Chain A
């Protein structure tokens, strides 16, 4: 095991298991561990110095894009001609990603503190926490934490005796993957369909209610709270030079110990799968892995030593994404797996842009006939052609995400795709579909 084996979890300190089992950190417990000291320090420093500090820390956004939070906050005008808003993206919906769930359910105050610091630094007095409706327990725990924080003078008017006022409210989704995209999330809070907006203007200039708006993932905000409390030097001492800090990797699929693993950025994929998640189930052979949710291209056996930071996966034309790692063993059929995911993107495409709406529909139809043994020669090449034509041609990236299971897989496993046509059936037994 690498330099990561003595790492003690910070963000997920005290978190047990993926799903709530009756234990959520109380306000008293959180404060006893120094909770809200970061906010106190921020209030003493003033918004400009907080912004400088977060910029210096180089906290790259944990929601998938890796864009530095300080830079994002810095785009917000330094006046208050219009009200400013902070939206917390807790719409965790990327297949294979379940780290935000644990933090929401078990450490809600850490997220509230981070959101308040973001609001203070960006001259905002309003925070909306956008939680997907399916996260019922997370919503209960977050609402309880908001109520407790308000009763303790941490939310509302004159926070901690300062002149900083800030309200925090939950806005619930209703089952739409696209609302994790920041402009769709904004539309949704405005009471509309989650249609992504064209940029520019960026949300920092015209976001929620046409006002300057910051949208951050909850893990990014949790890190901001820790950085305010522990300092920039502490943060930069973890992870790699260009990807400082830690993240929570969610590992699922055919491994022996699936779960959330908080580690410094810079651990390798091989270490994650074999040292932390206990290797492949039933002594089976590894086949492929999605490194950052189902929307990024897969990695294969000879690529597992890739360092899982923001930049290294790019050399294989894939991304760290949501750090939702889905592992597949040798028994998995790629056509079947792609079909499963294509149903997801076909279902979740908002329908606004033609390449994405029609492209996901075409790919879904082709994969359905391939898996049913009714594919025709040329179908595999047609899939590749659509992948090339869907990317970068729509308002948001959903169409491109839909190609994640195909773009690197078809060139390397063309024979497996073609075999579905040549044999007129799926050649895999797919024992993993049997429900015991």
Chain B
């Protein structure tokens, strides 16, 4: 397994220096450096909520590939964000099995309640609504992901309760922030 040469190239790489242990462990899982790209992008997004151009360059440096190759992946995979998102990302499953159980109505209800549409974030920075394709829980339709938690058999009452819990800070935010969560 290739050892990271931290004394030279990566000593000025903030991303690497901040997550040295995690990145070393990721790199050690693969025989080539570029395989570490997707897990490192997840590391960035868990911290910042999104992936900036600067972070893409730093990831490229660690993975020994070009920023263009990083952008290819970031733009190809739908769950990587290229702009900041809310503290709570509501990923509504919109595919047929959920749509047969009122996913469209669920979206309309949430959209009206929060005053935002697909891929938008509320002004207070709390909520982002995303359209997700089949989440693989079709017997429990309609479903949505609230950050990492899957919420099933949704009703208006359940949605109201979930939003309230988020507003009261009872749920884990989507990203941690560089120094813990920054509201």
Contact = CB atoms under 8 A, between A and B. Distances in A.
Contacts of B31: 83, 209
B150 A344 contact: no
A300 interface: no
A176 interface: yes
Size bracket of the A interface = 35 or more
A191 B134 contact: no
A174 B81 CA distance: 10
B97 A172 contact: no
Size bracket of the B interface = 35 or more
Contacts of A69: none
B35 A252 contact: no
A135 interface: yes
Contacts of A260: 139
B162 to A, nearest CB: 14
B104 interface: yes
Nearest to A18: B139
B95 A344 contact: yes
B156 to A, nearest CB: 7
Given A190-B35, A191-B37, A98 B77 contact: no
B166 interface: no
Nearest to A324: B138
B73 A192 contact: yes
A96 B141 CA distance: 10
Given A190-B35, A193-B72, A93 B133 contact: yes
Contacts of B108: 435
A432 B104 CA distance: 9
Contact of B134 (A93, A328, A350): A93
Contacts of A350: 76
Give the interface centre of B32, B91, B136, B141 by most chain A CB atoms within 10 Å: B136
Given A340-B99, A433-B102, A136 B78 contact: no
B150 A19 contact: yes
A172 B133 contact: no
A275 B136 CA distance: 23
